[in-house]
Amino acid sequence: MHEIVVNLHMHTRFSDGSGTHKDIAQAAMQTGLDVVIVTDHNVLVQGVEGYYRSGPSRVLLLVGQEVHDQALKPQKNHLLVFNANRDVASYAPDPQHLINVIREADGMSFIAHPRDPEAPAFGEDDISWERWDVTGFTGLELWNGLSELKVYLKSKLHGIFYAFFPQFIGHGPLPEVLLKWDELTLDGKRIVAIGGSDAHAMYMSLGPISRTIYPYEFHFKAVNTHLFTSEPLTGDTATDRRLVYEAFKNGRCFVGYDLPASTKGFHFRAQGSSEDVTMGEEISAKGGVTLQIRLPGLADCRLIKDGKILKQWKRGDNFAHITTEPGIYRVEVYRRYLGRKVGWIFSNPIYVR
Ligand SMILES: [Zn+2]
Ligand SMILES: [Zn+2]
């Protein structure tokens, strides 16, 4: 398995972002990302997908879209769409039909910012996902950089503080979203968790202050999705696109908050009598299973089984747990950053059957 760092969910001038695809590729190369997935609102931008290169650096830029029903007020129910190979925005008024169309096209759908609260001081509506009656979607955006910010925007003053000190925004996935995810997987559904930045590189003007807030570079160093591909990336767009989307589909990934320290090197594996599996995969409980967790630095770790904390460890980087009990096992890691405890790593589950 080969770990690659992906930043996903961002906007360009084709919707409400301020930059171009080239700006995004440039920022991604500067921050050392392997892949970016651009998802403009209700448009599938053509002709920009591929490798961008600068000196020894390269980045694979992929294009998906973020679809929602524009007639709905407020505009709730945003869906991230990858690999559908066609524009599906016209299906937005019926989310279940939209999800079905994406599946039939061999694409993937992820519920974007499942909880996205209102921020009245900035005239921002609650645009959470409400259609929980739908089925067949690939996963959900466990941690969204922008909806987390909306939680803290109590006043204009808060807005100015976070515009200048964005490193204070990230705390972790919203608790309601973690709960919802566990509820869905306990119900027997495979729901892949991803982390999105929702980068817009917005231009803000407030009295005498005007600047680009949360530039792409900032987001690319913060909430990323770390994927495990079956082969290393080759530099060929079609081959690597397939490798990347195959890993997403199988949930071979974790959400990493790379701002306090890089989360590269995290591992969550399970070893049985004859199998050795990673996140997103299944293993038989027969004969016992050893769950192994390796962190890229000292931190506090929780092993979660079926939505409940099974075990907790303080300040370590290597943990193991032996079990014969079937269940959905996942890992949460927390560490100190700027005087607060923040979420660092959120793994996808290993399914012990
Ligand atoms: Zn959205
Ligand atoms: Zn968005």
Distance 6 CA to ligand 2 centre (A): 16
Cα(278)–Cα(229) distance, integer angstroms:
12
pLDDT at 310 over 90: yes
Ligand nearest to the CA of 199: 2
Mean pLDDT of 300-315: 98
pLDDT at 203 over 80: no
Residue 104 corresponds to which tokens in the numbers above? 């039939």
Distance 290 CA to ligand 1 centre (A): 39
Residue-level pLDDT at 313: 98
3-state helix, strand, coil in the chain (%, to 5): 20, 40, 40
Cα(287)–Cα(324) distance, integer angstroms:
7
pLDDT at 206 over 90: no
pLDDT at 211 over 90: no
Residue-level pLDDT at 202: 81
Residue-level pLDDT at 122: 85
Ligand nearest to the CA of 115: 1
Judged by average pLDDT, the poorest of 40-54, 92-106, 115-129, 193-207 is 193-207
pLDDT band per the 50, 70, 90 thresholds, residue 251: very high
Q: Which backbone phi and psi does 137 adopt, to 5 degrees? A: -80, 160
- The pocket of ion ligand 1, defined by CB under 5 A, consists of 78, 112
Cβ burial of 308 (10 Å; 0-12, 13-18, 19+) is: exposed
Q: In 3D, which of 12, 55, 52 has the Cα closest to residue 33?
A: 52
Residue-level pLDDT at 103: 98
Mean pLDDT of 25-35: 98
Amino acid at 297: G
Distance 96 CA to ligand 1 centre (A): 18
Prediction pTM value: 0.96
Distance 143 CA to ligand 1 centre (A): 13
Cα(10)–Cα(168) distance, integer angstroms:
20
Residue-level pLDDT at 205: 74
Share of the chain above pLDDT 70, in %: 100
Distance 237 CA to ligand 1 centre (A): 27
Q: pLDDT, tens digit, for every residue of 146-181?
A: 888 888 888 888 888 888 889 998 999 999 999 999
Residue-level pLDDT at 228: 98
pLDDT at 286 over 80: yes
Distance 82 CA to ligand 2 centre (A): 14
Residue-level pLDDT at 104: 97
Mean pLDDT of 216-241: 97
